[in-house]
Amino acid sequence: MTENWMLSEIAYNAAESLAAGNGVSLSLDERMSIAIGLAYEKAERRLPLEDASALYCDLDENYPAYVAAVEALLSKKDRVSEALP
């Protein structure tokens, strides 16, 4: 089961990358995969080896949960943007 710190470690950075419009010529699935991969690499550099390894395994086993977390953040961001004047 995915731990909250793992989801948040990846989801916020991946959502930020996707919201920036990086790779707009790629499909959404490709953009999502790249954004999650880059977010993992960023986390890997700063986490202790044991935590980075656990995160890698969890990401591999629960990839759909990570995609859903990123999509939820993007959806939330869109709702906030629409509410602003």
Please give the model's pTM, rounded to 2 decimal places. Answer: 0.83
| CA 22 to each of CA 53, 79, 80: distance values in angstroms, whole numbers, following the listed order | 27, 21, 21
Separation CA 85–CA 13 (nearest Å): 26
Q: What is the C-alpha R_g of the chain?
A: 13
Query: Each residue of 17-75: pLDDT tens digit?
Result: 888 887 778 998 999 999 999 999 999 999 999 999 999 999 999 999 999 999 999 98
Contact residues for 85 (Cβ-Cβ < 8 A; gap 6+):
none
Domains of the chain by residue range: 4-78
- Which tokens in the block code for residue 85? 């004047």
